């Protein structure tokens, strides 16, 4: 069961990882660079994650073929 305490702790860890990446890289790079570095920071901090998940788009009950990723 996911508790509020668990979510608070996870949010703290994720924010810390994001701040670390930004602190090291600074501003102005492509999103893809931050993405890869954040993946590495999550690994270093043992934060389980999935990247670039494809999400189905349903319009009026029909699944639309398009590339929508998280």
User: Does residue 70 sit within a domain?
Assistant: no
Q: What string of pLDDT tens digits covers the 70 residues of the chain?
A: 899 999 999 999 999 999 999 999 999 999 999 999 999 999 999 999 999 999 999 999 999 999 999 8
User: Does residue 69 sit within a domain?
Assistant: no
DSSP conformation class of 27: S
Range of the domain at 21: 4-64
CA neighbor of 35 nearest in space, from 56, 21, 53: 21
The model's pTM: 0.80
Question: Cα-Cα-Cα-Cα dihedral of 13, 15, 18, 23, to 10°?
Answer: -100
User: Does residue 15 sit within a domain?
Assistant: yes
Number of domains into which the chain is organized: 1
């Amino acid at each position: 069961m996911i508790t509020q305490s668990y979510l608070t702790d996870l949010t703290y860890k994720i924010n810390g990882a994001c701040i670390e990446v930004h602190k090291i890289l600074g501003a102005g790079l492509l999103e893809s660079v931050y993405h890869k570095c954040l993946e590495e920071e999550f690994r270093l901090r043992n934060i389980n994650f999935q990247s670039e998940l494809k999400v189905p788009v349903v319009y009026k009950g029909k699944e639309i073929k398009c590339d929508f990723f998280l």
